[in-house]
Structure 1
Amino acid sequence: MELSFFDQFMSPVLFGIPLMALALLLPWVLFPSPASRWLTNRLLTLQGWTINRFVYQLLSPINQGGHKWALILTALMMFLISLNMLGLLPYTYTPTTQLSLNLGLAVPFWLATVIIGLRNQPKAAMAHLLPEGTPVPLIPILIIIETISLFIRPLALGVRLTANLTAGHLLIQLIATAAYVLLSVMPTVAILTTIVLYLLTILEVAVAMIQAYVFVLLLSLYLQENV
């Protein structure tokens, strides 16, 4: 049976059991456990400093009511970073290349921000559907457009994360396959291709972290509109 490059994005199955649950639980095992000492190790110190800076940058523009989301947004970003980085290891699987998983994360969080806005400030939430100073003939059209843009937000969140990770992983596999094929034919070109592969892997590590940050940042912007 001929294999496809896109087979790596299929959910792996062992004895008929999907391994999606195992891939989702693995990142929590990799996190270091906190210690009771005043001075912890360097890894925990770096992790704590990074999380503090992230929370400060993320929640500083948001009103006081949105600061209750600090814990869940921070946990979501750490979880997404771990899942994105997991796929860069050999013989592993990236759950965030599945659109179903990304939409399963994006839709509930987006819906929670919308419900909070409708509950706490319904007039301001509905005012986002019609920009101020709109001519009367354009009011129905703009309301329809703004409503569509509101409901397309979770889809954009999920598709953005899926597309970026899928494209990067697929490009890495294509370049790795080219380097392997060229090794016996043109060794010099194969070495150059391998160097490009290493550089692309470093870039993919940055993309995995940036896309997790962008996912949470956009959620915080949606939250900022509704608190």
Structure 2
Amino acid sequence: MALNLFDQFMSPTLMGIPLMALALVLPWILFPTPSSRWLNNRLLTLQEWFIKRFTHQLMLPLNVGGHKWALMLTSLMLFLLSINLMGLLPYTFTPTTQLSLNMGLAVPFWLATVIIGMRNQPTVALGHLLPEGTPAPLIPVLIIIETISLFIRPLALGVRLTANLTAGHLLIQLTASAAFILAPMMPTISILTTTVLFLLTLLEVAVAMIQAYVFVLLVSLYLQENV
């Protein structure tokens, strides 16, 4: 039973060819492209408003040096948001339920922020490993603890996104299976279970959006410490 539940998280294949690349590229095709006209339609206007508001809020606490990351972080947010939401549709695959993909996104972004900090302000970057006013006997222990916490950051980024989406998908599948099985035996309980399923789906839509935002927000906070 457990294997059947987790089959939905296996990378889809067609004649032995992995379709992960198609699942990653497809969301970008669905975004409306800006036209050359001066007056856009409502969809393009809403899309541009959302991108501008999100970029403004994301770049607000960052120094001027971190504003170079605006395009990259906004693109990452739209990428994760579209993949997470499309994964809730029936007969689809969510690439962000794969830890390998999330770690492939988390590690380079985290490493880039660390390299920027070590290059631009090495004293401040190394100063984060030792809080000011630490007693001398605790200095080696705190340096080890802060170093471990620094290297755990990308793992926390990837595992957080994977665990939240995987848990939500499993809850939806378990609740849907219960509603389907109970329908011929206990219709009333099945209707109640279907109501819970609908609420869970709304919750998972919110989780999909929130986790995409949290991933990008944490990357911007790591960047804020190093610029």
Q: TM-score, normalised by structure 1?
A: 0.98
Matched with 1:211 is: 211
List 4+ stretches of structure 1 deviating above 2 A: none
Unaligned ranges ≥5, structure 1: none
- The 1-side partners of 2:183 and 2:119 are apart by 63
Query: CA offsets, 1:123-142, max 9 Å, x none?
Result: 00000000000000000000
Farther off after superposition, 80-89 or 150-159: 80-89
Matched with 2:80 is: 80
3-state SS in 1 of match to 2:225? helix
Matched with 2:119 is: 119
Deviation (angstroms), 1:3: 5.3
3-state SS in 1 of match to 2:93? coil
Matched with 1:52 is: 52
Pick closer, same or farther for the CA change 1:29–1:50 going to 2, 3 Å. same
Number of residue pairs matched? 227
Matched with 1:179 is: 179
Partner letter of residue 217 of structure 2?
L
Partner letter of residue 123 of structure 1?
T
Unaligned ranges ≥5, structure 2: none
The 5-angstrom pairing of residues 137-148 of structure 1 reads 137-148=137-148
Farther off after superposition, 7-16 or 93-102: 7-16
Farther off after superposition, 149-158 or 191-200: 191-200
1:196 pairs with 2:196: yes
- The 1-side partners of 2:196 and 2:39 are apart by 41
The 5-angstrom pairing of residues 81-160 of structure 1 reads 81-160=81-160
Matched with 2:168 is: 168
Partner letter of residue 124 of structure 2?
A
Query: CA offsets, 1:138-181, max 9 Å, x none?
Result: 00000000000000000000000000000000000000000000
Deviation (angstroms), 1:2: 9.1
Matched with 2:41 is: 41
Query: CA offsets, 1:30-49, max 9 Å, x none?
Result: 10111112221111111111
Q: TM-score, normalised by structure 2?
A: 0.98
3-state SS in 2 of match to 1:152? helix
Superposed CA RMSD in Å reads 1.1
Partner letter of residue 5 of structure 1?
L
Identity across the alignment (%):
79
